[in-house]
Every structure is written in C-alpha cells, then in structure tokens.
Amino acid sequence: MSLALRLPTPARLGYSFNWVGRIGLAVILFWAVIAIIGPWIAPYPPGDMVDFDYFGPMSSEFWMGSDYLGRDILSRIIMGTRYTVGIALAAVMLACAGGVLLGMIAAVVGGWFDTLLSRFLDAFNGIPHLLFGLVVVAAVGSSIPILIVTLAAMYLPGSYRFARALAVNVNTMDFVTVARARGEGFGHIILREIFPNILGPVLADLGLRFVFIVLVLSGLSFLGLGVQPPNADWGALVRENIEGLSLGAPAVIFPSIAIASLTISVNMFIDNLPTRIRDRSE
Amino acid sequence: MDQPLVSVRDLKIGARTDSGREVEIIKGVSFDIAPGEIVALIGESGSGKTTIALSLMGHARPGCAIQGGSIRVGRRDVTAMPERQRAAMRGTEVSYVPQSAAAAFNPAKRIMDQVVEITAIHQLMPREQAEAKARQLFRALALPDPDTIGSRYPHQVSGGQLQRLSAAMALIGDPALVIFDEPTTALDVTTQIEVLRAFKSVMDKGAMAGVYVSHDLAVVAQIADRIIVLKNGVVQEEGPTEQILHAPKHPYTRQLLDAFEPVPHVPAARPDAAEPILAVQDLCAGYGVIRDGVPAAKILQDVSFRLERGRNLGVIGESGSGKSTLARAIAGILPAYRGNLLLDGKELAPALQQRSKDELRRVQIVFQLADTALNPAQSIETILARPLTFYHGMTGAARNARVIELLDMVRLPGHLRHRLPSELSGGQKQRVNLARALAAEPELILCDEITSALDTVVAAAILDLLKELQRELNLSYMFISHDLSTVEAICDEVLVMLKGRVVEALPAARMSTEAAHPYSRLLIGSIPQLDTGWLKGLEQDPALMAQFAGR
C-alpha cells in the first residue's frame, strides 16, 4: 500500500499551519538558538567597557552601538536573551501548568474546595503584581529561581480562573458523565477527558501571559529588582539606556525591538497553531 | 384557482463550506401554493426544507445564497427584489413562526411589545389598534387571559403558550403566507395538541396560505392540504395529504411511512432465571442541598419496578417527569437518597463511587446526544479502546481487533476508527456511542432518549440494531423515550411517569387498550396518528387536561 511509504510530515498528520504562524515560530526559534549559543557568538564580554564613547552610534565595530558606559549593545542583547527568554518561559510554564491543573481540579471536585481555592486565589490576585514582586525580592533577595517563582505566582491566579471557567463547561458534558459512570479515576477525567478539550484556549492564554511576564520582568529590572548587574535582561537594557533616547542612541532602540519581536511572534505563533490543536472541540 | 399565491420555479440554493467547497443544497425545486392552502414540506435533517421555507421570504442563511430559479409571492418576484423591498415584505406579506419560541422572544421585553413590533416597523396601524388586534389574536389562539397575557414576560408563560404567542406575532401583519418552521417539534405531545388546534383554527378562519415545515408526518397530516416530500434538496413526491398517506408512489415516501408503523416487538422467551436483572424498590432521588438526608428538590418519589433478564422496559412521560433522573439514579450518577437497587438479586450501592468495577461494567448508560457524549478530542479508536482497557485490561493487538469487532457489531466499517467524532454523521455517532457501552460487555443498558435526536429512518435502523444485539448478546434495555411508537417497537413493558412517580405499568403491546390511569390515557391519546381526521375527532376531557397541565 502506498500509505506505508508516506512520511509522517506535519502536513500529512493534519498539523500544518499558515505562514504567519511559521514566521512566528521562526523568530521564537531564532531567539531560542541565540539564548543557547549566546556566549560563543557575542563579540565582546557583556560587562566590559569597549567603546571610548558612550551612546555610540552603529558602526562596523559595534553593530548596535554602545550603551551609557560604552559597553557593546549587541553582546548585551545576546547575553540578555538567556535571562528574558529563559525566565519568562520558565515562569509562564510554571504559572500555566499550576493554574490549569488547579483549575481543572477545582472544576471537577467542586463544592467547598472550589470555593475556598477560588476565593484564596482571587484575594491573592488582588495584590498588585509589581508590589508583590517588590516585597518578595526585598525579603529574600534577587536570584533567578526567586524571580521565576515570583513571576509564576503573580500569573497563576489568572490562569487558574481561565482554566476553571473552561473546565466547568466541559465537566458538564455527557462524555465526562459517561467516563465517571464507567468508574474512571480523577486523573483520567482531568487529563484525558477535560484537558484536550480546553487545550486550545489555554495555549492562547499562555501566549498572552508570556508577553505579560516579559513586560513585568522588564518592569522589575527597571526598578532594579530583576537580573542584577553587570548582567541584564532586555528590560534592564532599556532602563539603563533610557537617557540615550534623546540622543537618538541605538542603545535603547535595539533592546526594545528585541522585546517586541519576541512577544509579537509568540502571539503570532499561538494564534496560528494548527487547527487540530487549536479547535479540537469543534 | 387560476393564479397561485406562491410559485417557485427551479429554485437552486448553494452554500460555501469552511473549506471553500461549493455545495448545492437545493437542486431545482418547483412548486405552487394556492391562496388559503397549507402546504407541508417534509423531510429529514439536511433535506433542505427549512432552506426552501426561508427562501420564500427572500432570506438565505449566512453562507447560503439563492443561485438560480425564481420565487414569486403574490405579484412580486422575490428573487429579483433588492434587499430593502424584501425587508418591507417580511411580516406583512410573508411571516415566519420559528421552531424555538423561547429563543425567538427577547426575555427582557414584555410579550405585547414584541407581538405588535411588526405593526410599528411597517407603520401599519396605531399602537392602540395593534394591541386590540393582538388581544383578538390571543383569543383566537385560545390563550388564557387574552387581555392581560401581553403584559407578562416570556418566562412567565409556558412553552406551548409561547409558541402560540409567536404565531400571534407572525399573524398580526395580516400576511398572505405564514411559514411554520417545525413549531411543535420541541413541545410535549399533550402541549403539541393545543398548539396544533390553535394553529388550525386560525388558519381555517383566515384566508392565509401556510407552509408547514416538519419531519413528523403525523403532525403534518392534521394541518396540511398538500405534502411535498423532500430529500437532499430534491422533491421526491408531491400530492394531497390523503394520497401521500394512503397511496404513496415514491419509495422514499413509503420508507418514511414504514418507519412510522411500529413493528410489534416479539418478546424473548421467558428466561428461567428467577432473579430479575434489575429490581428497584421505593427509589427516591433529587437535587440540591441535602438536609436530614433529603435533598431540597425531590425528583423521583417511590419508584418501584422489576426488569427481567432479556426483557426491555420502556419509560415514558413528558419533559420534567423524571425519566432521565431515573436512569441517572440507577447508573449511580445521581445517588438515590432512599430505596433499594438490586442488580441480579444483589444490592447495588446508590453512589457509583461505592460500586465495584464489575457492577459498573454490568450497567451501562447511553445518552441522547451523541455529539456531547463522545469526547471531541479523541479518535473513535481511543473512545472505544478505553472501556476495553479499563474493564478487561486489554492492550495492543487484541484491543485493536476488539475495536474493529465492536464497530462491526454496530454495523460500522472498521476504518472509521481513525476518525474524530466530528467527522461522523449523527446516526454513526449514536452507533459509536452504543458500541462504547457494548465494549464493557454489559448486561443492562440504560438508553436515555437515544433515538430522539435522529431522523425517523435512522432511528428505525438504530432500533433494529438494538433488537439484533439483544438476540446475540442477551442484553436487557431500559428505554427512556417520549416517543410512544419507539417504545412500542422495542419494549415489553412500559412505565408511565408523571412528576417523578410511576403512575402505571403497562404491557407495551396493549398500551392503548389497557391504560387505566387518566394520565396514561391522556398521554397515549395525544400521540398524533397518521390520519387526517385524528385531531378533529380527538375528544379530550378539558378537566383532565387542566389537571395535568399545571406544570
């Protein structure tokens, strides 16, 4: 049969997606590669003052100019990729995994557990994000694991709310009742019956949350609570070079472009995921 | 009649699917309607009956477009008119009574405001006069309190009343043609009679022509002068009601009529086993907060019955009678708070968490809507394989072979197992739904309205399948339905339920003759018959109607 000869490419499995999505994915992969190979391709050490001028222009020597201390911006962006992409990705994964899991559990268990958890997380959500970050970092100091956990904690309640609302609807469907009547355990109902049916919206939510986390991380760095000098994430690069804006220095433009390109392409990718994943319930 | 009111010639309506494919829905349909005549459009879902009816108003649903042919209503050519003129025509010359009156009324506005809306839009008459006319229509439609019902909100009247009010809304502009789009399909049988009577009397009085869209031949037989049988957008047969019912020419019409005639169920030989497969004693169940062991809303009250092995039990009753709750209580989804369940003589715990895996396996439940009963994210194979793994610990090749075998049992080709539920038709989905229950190798299957959402011919095929499976696998069914002919076709005994209680248990074959309880008689008497004079000749005790109508 000819079927056996066909390679299982994404297109043949029904997982093809359009050009906008592919461009988004390409940009994300580009930044992921940069994050990994950063130390080997950075032209200068990120903390060294290599230019005699500050806020230097773009030149063959310094492709993206230099910052307020005369450090090479290209090298600093390359090294900052690790922090921005890494921290944001880890935090968003943690927030969404936790939120979705708790949301599904609350939807299925219901009753006082649901009420208690929902009210607790609502109350938690009431604390302003930056204020919360400020308190935590002031209390335990800034380190990368602390940053990841703090950012995840900030965005978990929203993700929980979202997943719970979706799961409550799926939970009342007959196929869940059938599974329950079959005697299926809690894990099966949550992971096999409910989760695949809320996956599409949850992924879209993940994309949005990723962007927010990149921005809040930048905000924390702006306040000096994020990644500590001499290293810097992209948000911190914008902050420390903000005075250069009036001088028309590229030092502030390029980190901004980096943030924009990542956040926009994440959303382009998520919004154009293959229909098989995005709209499974249809 | 020299000049027909409506003439449709070679009508073609097409649609574009999401994947950009052009589909022809109506393939060259032609018919006439004389003034004052009621023509029924009969057909299964997807036959294009509603599409044709809507096209008479010059309307095509989103994605559809009239692609050819002509529609003339009165002296106007609907197909050639600009949208503006069509809008002016709607409500005054052609009006529409939708299937779901509940969805057609705005819940935030009083009924009167909505009924007279057409007169305001088209500036037909002053408000005072319009309201007087509406009250007159309410009276003609036999609505209670015709003078004050208009000041109520839609949720304050019953479903049957709302359907009649939506007819009043359609009739207020004195249209020449009224389109009824399955107006009684969502109603209970006893309510359906009131609504049909009201429609018939106003249509008889006025000189209006009507188009009645329905899938139910018996209902159409009561109201239509002529019947047009449709299938896949093509007219199969057209003729006067009497001729269609008694001397159908086309094989498809005959098939539709045959599906109506219940094949009397031949009960299996009385088994020797002394223990019934299911015995229910004084079962009580309900919803809501439980206080002192009794829930706030009691649904089932003291239900008792026995179901012998290899036999079938029918449960009939109107919506809200507790039929589905009974199935849920037996399955343990809604634990009963009082009473006993005996499966094969052994006590069954009320809640499913307390039941053993084997007890759960022996009783399976199949739901009405296969759309929501199958997980849309799982392939048919995954859906069927799960109970095999769960109950029988099957894996790998043995499980795959069994999945194909199960599909074969429900007469589906094995290659369907790679599809998702959304890629199957309604009848196929219901077969998969059934196959999943069979995968457990149950002894008792609780069927909750499993044929109600299906077309007549498809439903008849499912019933045949159920009978065949019963012979092969020695199953017992508890068959819940509001459709008595379905129950008659498959059950040995019938329970009549009213407000959560069993009012009577009857042998299915002699339901109509042996019913003693007044409610059973009312319910059985309300089933439309394939006889044009049935509604006229129907005598119903008004006191009896009133007694049971207070729901």
How far is B216 from B64, CA to CA, in rounded Å?
25
Q: Is the pLDDT of residue B528 over 90?
A: no
Alpha-carbon gap: A59 to the closest alpha carbon of chain B (Å):
51
Interface touch A196/B378, C-beta < 8 Å = yes
Q: So what's the pLDDT on residue B21?
A: 74
State residue B38 phi and psi, 5-degree precision. Answer: -110, 120
Residue of B nearest to A195 (CA): B377
Quick one: B405 exposed, middle or buried, by C-beta within 10 A (0-12, 13-18, 19+)? Answer: middle
Q: So what's the pLDDT on residue B472?
A: 86
Alpha-carbon gap: A195 to the closest alpha carbon of chain B (Å):
9
Question: DSSP letters of B410-435?
Answer: TT--GGGGGS-GGGS-HHHHHHHHHH
pTM: 0.78
- The amino acid sitting at A13 is L
* Cis, bond preceding B376 (omega within 30 deg of 0): no
Alpha-carbon gap: A6 to the closest alpha carbon of chain B (Å):
17
Beta bridge mates, B143: none
B323 and B471 housed in the same domain: yes
Chain A contact present for B452, CB below 8 A: no
B367 and B513 housed in the same domain: yes
Nearest Cβ partner for B365 among A181, A193, A282 = A181
Q: Measuring CA to CA, which residue among B445, B433, B470 is closest to residue B365?
A: B445
Q: So what's the pLDDT on residue B404?
A: 92
Q: Mean pLDDT score of chain A, rounded to an integer?
A: 83
Q: Is B151 among the domain residues?
A: yes
Q: Is the pLDDT of residue B9 over 60?
A: yes
In whole angstroms, how far apart are CA A247 and each of A56, A102, A253, B346? 10, 49, 11, 88
In whole angstroms, how far apart are CA B27 and each of A254, B23, B66, B250, B305? 61, 10, 11, 18, 52
Q: Which helix (H) or strand (E) holds A98?
A: helix A73-109
Q: Is the pLDDT of residue B99 over 50?
A: yes
Interface touch A183/B390, C-beta < 8 Å = yes
Interface touch B352/A280, C-beta < 8 Å = no
Q: So what's the pLDDT on residue B134?
A: 92
Q: Is the pLDDT of residue A9 over 70?
A: no
Q: What three-state secondary structure class fits B516? A: coil
Are B406 and B435 within 8 A, CB to CB? yes
- What's the maximum distance between 2 C-alpha atoms anywhere in chain B? 76
Q: Is the pLDDT of residue B540 over 70?
A: no
B388 and B471 housed in the same domain: yes
Highest mean pLDDT among A214-218, A269-273, B122-126, B532-536: B122-126
**Tens digits of residue pLDDT in B301-326:** 889 998 888 889 999 888 778 888 89
Q: So what's the pLDDT on residue A1?
A: 36
Residue of A nearest to B362 (CA): A182
How far is A195 from A101, CA to CA, in rounded Å?
9
Mean pLDDT over B467-481 rounds to 88
**What CATH number is associated with residue B472?**
3.40.50.300
Chain A contact present for B429, CB below 8 A: no
**Helix A73-109 × helix A144-171 angle, to 10°:** 40
pLDDT band for position B410 (cuts 50, 70, 90):
confident
Q: So what's the pLDDT on residue A94?
A: 94
Are B535 and B492 within 8 A, CB to CB? no
Q: Is the pLDDT of residue A164 over 90?
A: yes
How far is B234 from A277, CA to CA, in rounded Å?
38
- With b for 16 or more beta-carbon neighbours within 10 A and e for fewer, the B281-314 pattern comes to eebbbbeeeeeeeebeebbbbebebbbbbbbbbb
Mean pLDDT over B155-177 rounds to 87
Any idea how long chain B is?
551
Alpha-carbon gap: B328 to the closest alpha carbon of chain A (Å):
9
Q: Is the pLDDT of residue A213 over 80?
A: yes
Q: Which CATH class is domain A17-38+75-278?
A: mainly alpha
How far is B128 from B146, CA to CA, in rounded Å?
15
Q: Mean pLDDT score of chain B, rounded to an integer?
A: 85
Residues of A in contact with B331 (CB under 8 A): 181
Alpha-carbon gap: B259 to the closest alpha carbon of chain A (Å):
28
Interface touch A183/B357, C-beta < 8 Å = yes
Q: So what's the pLDDT on residue A98?
A: 95
- With b for 16 or more beta-carbon neighbours within 10 A and e for fewer, the A112-150 pattern comes to eebeebbeebeeebeeebeeebeebbeeeebebebbbbb
Interface touch B436/A281, C-beta < 8 Å = no
In this structure, of B179-188, B325-334, B382-391, the range with the lowest mean pLDDT score is: B179-188
Q: So what's the pLDDT on residue B19?
A: 64
**Token representation of residue B336:** 């009963």
**Tens digits of residue pLDDT in B213-255:** 988 888 888 888 899 998 888 888 888 988 888 888 888 888 8
Q: So what's the pLDDT on residue A74?
A: 85
B30 and B170 housed in the same domain: no
Alpha helices in B410-539 (DSSP H): 426-439, 456-473, 484-490, 511-514, 518-525, 534-537
Interface touch A197/B375, C-beta < 8 Å = yes
Q: So what's the pLDDT on residue B401?
A: 92
Given the DSSP bridges, would you call strands B501-507 and B493-498 parallel, antiparallel or unpaired? antiparallel
B158 and B203 housed in the same domain: no
**Percentage of chain A modeled with pLDDT above 90:** 22
In this structure, of A1-10, B182-191, B228-237, B468-477, the range with the lowest mean pLDDT score is: A1-10
Q: Is B180 among the domain residues?
A: no
**Token representation of residue A261:** 């390109």
B408 and B506 housed in the same domain: yes
Q: Is B272 among the domain residues?
A: no
Mean pLDDT over B164-193 rounds to 86
Q: Is the pLDDT of residue B18 over 60?
A: yes
Q: Is the pLDDT of residue A48 over 90?
A: no
Beta bridge mates, B65: B14
Are B282 and B342 within 8 A, CB to CB? no
State residue B438 phi and psi, 5-degree precision. Answer: -70, -30
Every domain of chain A and the residues it spans: 17-38+75-278
How far is B527 from A75, CA to CA, in rounded Å?
83
Q: Is the pLDDT of residue A100 over 90?
A: yes
Predicted complex ipTM: 0.76
Interface touch A281/B377, C-beta < 8 Å = yes
B131 and B82 housed in the same domain: no
**Token representation of residue A247:** 């001088």
Residues of A in contact with B418 (CB under 8 A): none
pLDDT band for position A166 (cuts 50, 70, 90):
very high
Residue B206 vs residue B427, higher pLDDT: B427
Q: Is the pLDDT of residue B549 over 80?
A: no
pLDDT band for position B519 (cuts 50, 70, 90):
confident
- Most A CBs within 10 A among B18, B19, B362, B375, hence the mutation to make, goes to B375
B225 lies in which domain range?
1-93+190-260
Q: Is B454 among the domain residues?
A: yes
Interface touch A192/B378, C-beta < 8 Å = yes
Q: Which helix (H) or strand (E) holds B25?
A: strand B22-33
Interface touch B352/A199, C-beta < 8 Å = no
B364 and B422 housed in the same domain: yes
Residue B528 vs residue A102, higher pLDDT: A102
Residues of chain A that touch chain B, judged by Cβ-Cβ distance less than 8 Å: 173-175, 177-184, 192-193, 196-197, 199, 280-282
How far is A81 from A83, CA to CA, in rounded Å?
5
Q: So what's the pLDDT on residue A160?
A: 94
In whole angstroms, how far apart are CA A103 and each of A124, A155, A227? 15, 13, 31
B326 and B435 housed in the same domain: yes
Chain A contact present for B393, CB below 8 A: no
B85 and B202 housed in the same domain: yes
Q: Is the pLDDT of residue B79 over 80?
A: yes
**Token representation of residue B489:** 């076709």
Q: So what's the pLDDT on residue B427?
A: 83
Instruction: Classify residue B485 by its DSSP letter.
Output: H
Q: Is B268 among the domain residues?
A: no
How far is B543 from A159, CA to CA, in rounded Å?
58
B132 and B246 housed in the same domain: no
Mean pLDDT over B31-41 rounds to 89
Q: Is B291 among the domain residues?
A: no
How far is A163 from A103, CA to CA, in rounded Å?
5
Q: So what's the pLDDT on residue B548?
A: 64
Q: Is the pLDDT of residue B8 over 50?
A: yes
Residue B113: partners with Cβ closer than 8 Å, 6 or more residues away: none
How far is A253 from A271, CA to CA, in rounded Å?
27
Q: Is B75 among the domain residues?
A: yes
Q: Is the pLDDT of residue A278 over 70?
A: no
Gyration radius of chain B's alpha carbons: 25
**Percentage of chain B modeled with pLDDT above 90:** 13
**Tens digits of residue pLDDT in B366-379:** 988 888 889 888 88
Are B467 and B435 within 8 A, CB to CB? no
How far is B43 from B252, CA to CA, in rounded Å?
10
Interface touch A196/B377, C-beta < 8 Å = yes
Alpha-carbon gap: B383 to the closest alpha carbon of chain A (Å):
10
pLDDT band for position B73 (cuts 50, 70, 90):
confident
Q: Measuring CA to CA, which residue among B15, B76, B6, B86 is closest to residue B41?
A: B6
Q: So what's the pLDDT on residue B451?
A: 84
Mean pLDDT over B498-505 rounds to 88
Q: Is B521 among the domain residues?
A: yes
Residue B291 vs residue A155, higher pLDDT: A155
B386 and B447 housed in the same domain: yes
Q: Which helix (H) or strand (E) holds A89?
A: helix A73-109
**Token representation of residue B307:** 């179901």
Residue of A nearest to B330 (CA): A181
- Three-class SS string for B294-336? EEEEEEEEEEEEEECCCCEEEEECCCCCCHHHHHHHHHCCCCC
Q: How many domains does chain B have?
A: 3
